[in-house]
Amino acid sequence: MSEQENIDVRVLTVDVGAFPGAGHAVLYANGAVPQLDTVQLDSAHGGEFTHAEAQLSKYRAHMDWWHAKSLDPKASQDLIHSIARQL
């Protein structure tokens, strides 16, 4: 899937340490109209959706941080392939 033009997979390596949003899966769905953005959080209690601007702003800041600290898509692919070969 990461080889598709519209998908970027980025790896946060363990040397980054603790990070915003650690501990649960986050899906940030965005598009051409930012007011329609939605965040899905997965937790032990099930999925939760948020689309309030204050919450979206928080998750946009998280995503900016994750983007700055993660490997670029090519390096992420290379790391994933390297780990898969070792299995």
- The answer as to whether 28 is a domain residue is yes
Which domain does 38 fall in, by range?
A: 24-86
pLDDT value at position 22? 72
Count of structural domains within the chain: 1
Does residue 81 lie in a domain region? yes
Which pLDDT band, with edges at 50, 70 and 90, does 83 fall under? Answer: very high
- Which residues fall within 8 angstroms of residue 55, CB to CB, at 6 or more apart? 39
Could you tell me if residue 44 is inside a domain? yes
Q: Is the pLDDT of residue 17 over 90?
A: no
Q: How many angstroms separate the most distant Cα atoms in the chain?
A: 43
Segment 28-81, tens digit of pLDDT: 898 899 889 999 988 778 888 998 999 999 989 988 998 999 999 999 999 999
**pLDDT of 73:** 93
The predicted structure's pLDDT at residue 38: 94
Considering the domain boundaries, does residue 34 fall inside one? yes
Please enumerate in sequence order all residues whose Cβ is within 8 A of that of 47, keeping only pairs 6 or more positions apart, or say none. Answer: 40, 41
The two tokens of residue 67 are 């983007």
pLDDT the model gives residue 84:
95
Which residues does 64 contact at the CB level (< 8 Å), separation at least 6? none
Helix/strand/coil for 47: strand
Answer yes or no: is 9 within a domain.
Answer: no
